[in-house]
Amino acid sequence: MLSTSAPGDIRSALPPSPPDESEPFESVLEDLDAVLQRGLTHWQSPRFFGYFATTASEPAILAELLVATLNQVGILWRASPALQELEEVTVSWLRQILGLPEGWHGQLEEAASLSSTIALAAARATRPGQRVVVCSEHAHSSIDKACRLLDLEVRRLPADERFALRPELIDLEGACAAVGTIGTTSCASIDPIEALAEACERAGVWLHIDAAYAGAAAALPELRTLFAGWERADSIVVNPHKWLLVSQGCSVLWTRRPDELRRAFSLVPEYLRVTEDVVSYSEYSQVLGRRFRALTLWTVLRCHGVNGIRDVLREHVRLAGQFERWVDAEPGWEVVAPRHFSLVCFRLEASDEVNQELMDRVNRSGEMFLSHTRLDDQFVLRLAIGNARTTETDVRQAWEVLRREASAIRANG
């Protein structure tokens, strides 16, 4: 599950220089088994519960083969009208699935980190001289990184006991943007989006919503209330490569202010000038040549269908609720954060060292993988359900492994 290789193992097992003569493809496959395999952490396993679990679903895998085969390089509309226009259609489909307003511009990027950087670059250009970005202490580190690159200053506000930004502390003095998170990385908490929208509208500050993980859940009508107010944002990021069955490398950035993105990013050199009256995605992004990501997202949406995707998401939320109830009912264990989606934060009622030991033992067992965070200055275990192949049997087994290893620790000490 978790790779068993030690640092440098893989590197030292590989030739330091390339072959002069061609090798058969079988040799590559042999080395995949003989060398690389032990350095793989199995993100595709149904018992991968670390970070935010993901799925490269079968349609995504096949579509990626087509993406590489067709090798479209989307530098401008005429370089691949299919890429440009399929992307427009596909992000509009996903916008509808998530219940976002008509007319928003959407684009696909490699990762949420880049989507947020692009949104904050546009926000910065709207308020020259205002260099602060306001967010909660639980906002993702990609916001800090974006601000570092854009020479902006981050103002992190303390969160409440539910790990959400406190509305009464919102201070937009000197700000060009505020970032609200729906589904924070540590514990999937939700910032008060309506209050943020209110304050941003009053102050004329750009509101960016980071829903990289949890945004997928807006496809479920019964969870839509958790997203109240996000339609008032200036930009939103959601990652299909997290919880929407798409392989790594697919993040959607929507904005209702595309002209601001274009103002920040459009730079068309002579050799890319054309006579057609078209706009190309390269004018809205830092990247010139884009991959045919839309083909993968489009394939996934078609082959699963909206109802198929909803079934997967709903089952993950149900399984997380089941696991949460088991932990809650077990003496000596505690759930430590409110659960909204498919992530459960929990711990043994014991020291940080014991919880760390528990996680290490569980991960060493190879039967499952989970990761940790710190909340209220305590070491906390995270069980993130997000792989489409995860069943109730997997989650039950994970709970058995956790209880077994906790008993072993108690017996030893």
Pick one of 251, 280, 285, 387: the residue that binds ligand PLP (CB under 6 A): 251
- State which residue, 210 or 260, has the beta carbon closest to ligand PLP: 210
CA distances from 125 to 29, 209, 261 (A): 49, 18, 9
DSSP 5: P
Two tokens, residue 279:
């706009």
Contacts to ligand PLP from residues 225-244, by CB under 6 A: 239
φ, ψ (nearest 5 deg) of residue 82: -65, -40
Per CB under 6 A, 181 contacts ligand PLP? yes
Residues in contact with ligand PLP, total (CB under 6 A)? 15
Do 169 and 197 meet the contact criterion of CB atoms below 8 Å apart?
no
Nearer to ligand PLP, 212 or 345 (CB): 212
Contact string 285-324 vs ligand PLP (x = CB under 6 A): ----------------------------------------
Query: Which residues is 343 bridged to in the sheet?
Result: 384
Q: Give Dmax (Cα) for the chain.
A: 76
Least separation, in Å, of the C-beta of 88 and ligand PLP? 22
Tell me how far, at minimum, the Cβ of 18 lies from ligand PLP, in Å.
30
Query: H or E segment at 348?
Result: strand 343-348
CB of 27 to ligand PLP, least distance (A): 32
Nearest CA among 98, 275, 242, 246 for reference residue 106: 98
C-alpha closest to that of 252 among 103, 142, 106, 114 = 106
Among 66, 111, 154, 279, binds ligand PLP (CB under 6 A): 111
Report the nearest approach of ligand PLP to the CB of residue 216 (Å). Answer: 12
Nearer to ligand PLP, 115 or 282 (CB): 115
Q: CB-wise, 121 or 406, nearer to ligand PLP? A: 121
**Which residue, 119 or 172, is less far from ligand PLP as judged by CB?**
119
Binder among 98, 112, 121, 317 for ligand PLP (CB under 6 A): 112
Q: Does 107 bind ligand PLP (CB under 6 A)?
A: no
Residues 43 and 54: their CA atoms lie apart, in Å, by: 7
The piece of 182-190, 219-227, 283-291, 309-317 that touches ligand PLP (CB under 6 A) is 182-190
Closest separation in Å from C-beta 217 to ligand PLP: 13
Among residues 90 and 116, whose Cβ is nearest to ligand PLP?
116
- 2 vs 246 by CB, closer to ligand PLP: 246
**What size, in residues, is the chain?**
413
- Give the integer Cα–Cα distance in Å for 107 and 91: 7
Distance CA 48, CA 398 (A): 10
User: How far is Cα 269 from Cα 267, in angstroms, rounded to an integer?
Assistant: 6
Which long-range contacts does 7-15 make (Cβ < 8 Å, 24+ apart)?
9/38, 9/39, 10/35, 10/36, 10/38, 10/39
* Minimum separation from the CB atom of position 189 to ligand PLP (A): 10
Considering the complex, state which of residue 146 and residue 295 has its C-beta at the smaller distance from ligand PLP: 146
Binding mask 62-101 for ligand PLP (x = CB under 6 A): ----------------------------------------
Site string for ligand PLP, 188-217 (x = CB under 6 A): ----------------------x-xx----
Please give the torsion angle defined by the CA atoms of residues 242, 247, 248 and 251, in that order, rounded to the nearest 10 degrees: -60
Residue 246: exposure state from Cβ atoms within 10 A (0-12, 13-18, ≥19): buried
Report DSSP letters for 60-111, one per residue: HHHHHHHHHHH---BSSGGG-HHHHHHHHHHHHHHHHHTTPPTT-EEEEES-
- Given 49, 52, 346, 399, the residue binding ligand PLP (CB under 6 A): 52
Tokens of 5: 């290789």
113 contacts ligand PLP (rule: CB under 6 A): yes
Residue 149 to residue 10: CA distance in whole angstroms: 32
Q: Which of 72, 80, 107, 142 is the binder for ligand PLP (CB under 6 A)?
A: 142
Q: Supply the minimum distance, in Å, between the C-beta of residue 57 and ligand PLP.
A: 18
Query: Is the Cβ of residue 41 or residue 322 nearer to ligand PLP in the bound state?
Result: 41
Which of 47, 95, 105, 140 touches ligand PLP by CB under 6 A? 140
Query: Where does this chain bind ligand PLP (CB under 6 A)?
Result: 52, 111-113, 140, 142, 181, 183-185, 210, 212-213, 239, 251
